[in-house]
């Protein structure tokens, strides 16, 4: 099984690459900085050089050809302005979803954010971020060729994961370690019955595999 991850050098993506490689999957991570390649190789992933802000759908579809699953985990990141929230958090996500559909990649996971809303008001950068994520989520949900799942984590923490989460359509506010976000993504890839769901994720009391099984098919 080949899995391609957009934003391959991100903090969640690197964790996910390690988990998937340990499970025996063939993993590729899309990066735009060649110098990040060694970090991906160390995580067990093949680095693929591509700038999703300027690439064509056809080019990205070529990268995705033959993949069994695609994960969008890219982001403009802290310190970026409103313009890049649009070009990365919305634009690159839309491009990646369209390319996955063109390449006939069925399983598609979108790493979004709790509070993502295309109709959100406000002029702050965070408002623009949540609008961009909401618009990207809305687009993914229109792709009839994808078995998509949208994951919306709460505030992200760098502390070690506990393996215990709350994963629901509406989980309420809260935070979650990046380790646990990656663990949930790994389980979601292996649980296609979660296709068509938008799920919120925070720390909780349910083991990750149990939490994913509980929402599968709902």
CA 15, CA 203: separation in Å to the nearest integer?
A: 17
Residue 54 has φ and ψ, to the nearest 5°, of -125, -10
- Choose the catalytic residue: 43, 129, 131, 189: 129
Q: What is the DSSP letter of 36?
A: G
Q: What is the DSSP letter of 160?
A: P
129 noted as active-site residue? yes
DSSP labels for 168-193? ESS--S-EEEHHHHHHHHHHHHT-GG
Surface-to-core class of residue 76, CB atoms within 10 Å of its CB (0-12 exposed, 13-18 middle, 19+ buried): buried
| Residues forming the active site | 129
């Amino acid at each position: 099984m080949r899995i391609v991850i957009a934003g391959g050098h991100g903090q969640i993506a690197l964790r996910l690459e390690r988990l998937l490689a340990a499970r025996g999957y063939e993993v590729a991570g899309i990066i735009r900085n060649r110098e990040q390649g060694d970090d991906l190789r160390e995580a067990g992933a093949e680095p693929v050089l591509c700038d999703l802000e300027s690439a064509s759908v056809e080019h990205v579809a070529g990268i995705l050809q033959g993949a069994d699953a695609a994960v969008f985990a890219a982001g403009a990141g802290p310190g970026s302005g409103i313009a890049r929230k649009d070009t990365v958090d919305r634009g690159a996500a839309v491009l990646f979803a369209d390319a996955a559909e063109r390449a006939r990649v069925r399983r598609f996971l979108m790493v979004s954010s709790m509070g993502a809303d295309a109709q959100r008001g406000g002029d702050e950068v965070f408002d623009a971020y949540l609008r961009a994520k909401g618009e990207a989520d809305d687009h993914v949900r229109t792709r009839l060729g994808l078995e998509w799942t949208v994951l919306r984590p709460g505030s992200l923490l760098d502390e070690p994961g506990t393996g215990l989460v709350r994963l629901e359509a509406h989980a309420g506010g809260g935070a979650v370690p990046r380790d646990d976000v990656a663990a949930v993504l790994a389980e979601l890839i292996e649980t296609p019955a979660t296709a068509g769901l938008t799920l919120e994720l925070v720390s909780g009391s349910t083991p990750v595999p149990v939490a994913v099984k509980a929402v599968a098919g709902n």
